A = this chain, B = another copy of it.
Amino acid sequence: MKFPSLEDIRNAHLRIQPFIHRTPILTSTAIDEMAGCRIFFKCENFQKVGAFKARGAANAVAKLTEEQKKNGVATHSSGNHAAALARAASVAGIKSYIVMPSNAPEIKKKAVKGYGGEIIECEPNLQARETTLRAVVDRTGATSIPPYDFYDVIEGQATCALEMWDEHIPFDVIMAPVGGGGLLAGTALTTKYISPSTLVIAGEPAGADDAFRSFHAKKLIPMEGPKTIADGLLTSLGKLNFAIIMQYVDDILTADDTEIIEAMRLVYERMKIVIEPSCAVPLAALLKNKERFRGKKVGIILSGGNVDLGKLPF
């Protein structure tokens, strides 16, 4: 199968524009001084449903046939894709069935319910999620919209970098976190189509580093027993995402939980914005590898802001 083209991504952006925010890019002189480079933060924490996932879900739902719409959509997700799909379905006036691990943050479950999604809980592992989702699809006839391993979703996530390039900033590097790989694959496609010399570098939690290991082994290595505060990045890298990443991503850097929390605190203290831990991973990776970024213009996608305020790690 062919990767989404730049034209596909531009069309996706036109398709979803009525349903998403064009999020701002913020800067912080204090963080720039610490980092030794210029950082442009693309604030997807201000996105609808509080995360970039609104983009992919909106695109996937907008591409459904009228026939498919009748039975609604279904997915499994630890959180942000869940809320995003429930909202995209609700806006389109169709049903959504969301399989969520029992340990998903309360705030994310609440969001799904708020958008009218029907939650089906399962054990917190990939196998249970997939089995439960299959049962739901069999029962309802809903169309499954995978959270990341799906071109329509990747195409949607790719529109985030498209907006960054629209700002005419000559990025030397663009960074995104990597979990399932939807945002990273989309970001890499857009960036390499528009500016092949710009480096695309991912940030991944050291405690959930299957993308890092897969990237270096040049074969997909499934995640086993991930353990990190970055709860949005616990999933294994998807197959389609991996193929795109191998072709277009330049490097994957890891950061441990202490470094992730430190970067997260910096963003709260210096930028006065609320982000979730997953979101802080690229900044943590950059601060750990300052020499590689010295003097450069770096775009960092702040992927989401859905954090349990009662459980902040400060």
Contacts and interface: CB of A to CB of B under 8 A. Distances in A.
Nearest to A26: B46
A50 interface: yes
A241 interface: no
Contacts of A193: none
Contacts of A50: 272
A269 B107 contact: yes
A54 B192 CA distance: 42
A69 to B, nearest CB: 25
Contact of A268 (B46, B271, B274, B314): B274
A310 interface: yes
B305 A272 contact: yes
A1 interface: no
Nearest to A45: B272
Which label, helix, strand, loop or mixed, suits the secondary structure of the A interface?
A: helix
Given A107-B269, A272-B274, A314 B305 contact: no
A305 B271 CA distance: 9
Contacts of A314: 309-310, 312
A271 to B, nearest CB: 8
Interface residues of A, number: 18
Contacts of A268: 274, 309
Nearest to A46: B272
A304 B46 CA distance: 19
Contacts of A46: 271-272
A309 B309 CA distance: 11
A269 B308 CA distance: 9
Given A273-B273, A312-B312, 12 more contacts: A45-B272, A265-B309, A268-B274, A268-B309, A269-B309, A272-B273, A272-B275, A273-B274, A309-B312, A309-B314, A310-B314, A312-B314
